[in-house]
Amino acid sequence: MSLKYRCPSCGTSLGYEGLCWKCQMEKERQDVLAWSPEQIAQKREKLMENIKGLEDYQEPAFTDFWKLLSYLDAITPEIQKAALEAKVFYPCEIYYHAPEDVRDGLKSVLLETKDANEAANLMSCLAMQGDDQALQTLLELERNPRPWRKRLYVDPSIYAQCGGWTFDKEGHRIHLNFDTCYPMVKGTANEETPVKIGRLREDTCPHCGGKMVDIFVLDGKDERLKFLGLDGVLTATCCPNCVGFLDGPAYNRFTLDGGTEVFPSKLYDDEEEMECYMRPEDYKSMAENPFVLAKNPVPLFYGAFCEDVNTVGGFANWVQDWEYTTCPVCGKPMKYLAQIQWDTIMEGTEGTLYIEVCTDCKVVSMQHQQT
């Protein structure tokens, strides 16, 4: 097919006239951020009137909910109470930090249900509510499982993870997310940034022979990144060609002066030699991407429902299910740090790279998901 058109915003070659999908999503996002207080109030009112529409992703209510939550942090207790009254338990994010009476309502329905699917949704909702009573409820269900547990794949402590936390066998809370979020935005030529995506290296991958890449370099001394508690540089290194074919995440240890030690990894099928699909222009595109850390923080779910936003902190846009990796050194759950949408730095690619960190052991993990 001949690509005879170009996106009027970014210049990408297209087979149709108009904005490319990434520029269209950015336009829609900026339109939402420009909503007046009156428009926001109207959207909230319509959402409560059609709260059952949340259960159908094709309904306007579903889209409006994610716009209100992701870009404006504008979901109110009244909306959460309306969802509980209508017994709407999906998407679970609607109950994020809901008030105590809503939590008690979710808990009551969960403890009474005999349906495994409903129990799974309700545990996710309680995880999003996330207070100490929610923790105690999930802990009790883990220690004393209900009959429906046999029809689920994982324990309540795994459902807790969708809310950005979990608990150990003693019931101690473990935080899995940072409570601040910054997006990566397109900067100007030679703009200084404490976060760099895609820095090329000289060494090569032992599996495919392609270039290793410092896929994510972060200077924790920048004032915006103080919330991470890193007094130095974090470097995440991987082979961008192979990271999606590994039998588990890619790991490396980092030193605060910018050094890295890459851990050995294994392919899903080690009997076949891995081919490098990366072209020179792909590495060039990756290394020359325009992204810089934004000046100001955004809502925690800013990057959780879109495929064109790279973020540091907050919540991820998990393509499949949330997946927190285990530190290979201490065995504790790692903390979600950042996401990189592959096709924002290389054309013709898909999926997302999720970066997690164990600050105690100074280890990072990188794992890929795609549809």
C-alpha to C-alpha distances, 119 to 99, 107, 162, 313, nearest whole angstrom: 20, 10, 14, 29
CA–CA separation, 320 vs 75, rounded Å?
24
Q: Determine how β-strand 250-254 pairs with β-strand 195-204.
A: unpaired
CA–CA separation, 282 vs 280, rounded Å?
5
Contact between residue 212 and residue 199 where contact means Cβ atoms under 8 Å apart: no
The two structure tokens encoding residue 161: 């993870």
From the list 360, 323, 326, the residue with the least C-alpha distance to 339 is 323
CA–CA separation, 352 vs 368, rounded Å?
6
The two structure tokens encoding residue 144: 């004393």
From the list 49, 54, 53, 103, the residue with the least C-alpha distance to 77 is 103
Q: What is the CA radius of gyration of the chain?
A: 22
pTM: 0.95
Q: CB-based burial of residue 329 (10 Å sphere; 0-12 exposed, 13-18 middle, 19+ buried)?
A: middle
CA–CA separation, 140 vs 128, rounded Å?
17
pLDDT in tens, the chain (371 residues): 567 899 998 888 888 999 998 999 999 999 999 999 999 999 999 999 999 999 998 999 999 999 999 999 999 999 999 999 999 999 999 999 999 999 999 999 999 999 999 999 999 999 999 999 999 999 999 999 999 999 999 999 999 999 999 999 999 999 999 999 999 999 987 899 999 999 999 999 999 999 999 999 999 999 999 999 999 999 999 999 999 999 999 999 999 999 999 999 999 987 678 999 999 999 999 999 999 999 999 999 999 999 999 999 999 999 988 999 999 999 999 999 999 999 999 988 899 999 999 999 999 999 999 98
Q: Determine how β-strand 181-186 pairs with β-strand 291-293.
A: antiparallel
CA–CA separation, 127 vs 39, rounded Å?
30
**What angle (nearest 5°) sits at the alpha carbon of residue 285, between those of residues 281 and 286?**
120
Give pLDDT, residue 271. 67
C-alpha to C-alpha distances, 84 to 44, 59, 117, 122, nearest whole angstrom: 16, 19, 17, 11
List CB contacts of 9: < 8 A, sequence separation 6 or more: 19, 20, 23, 26, 27
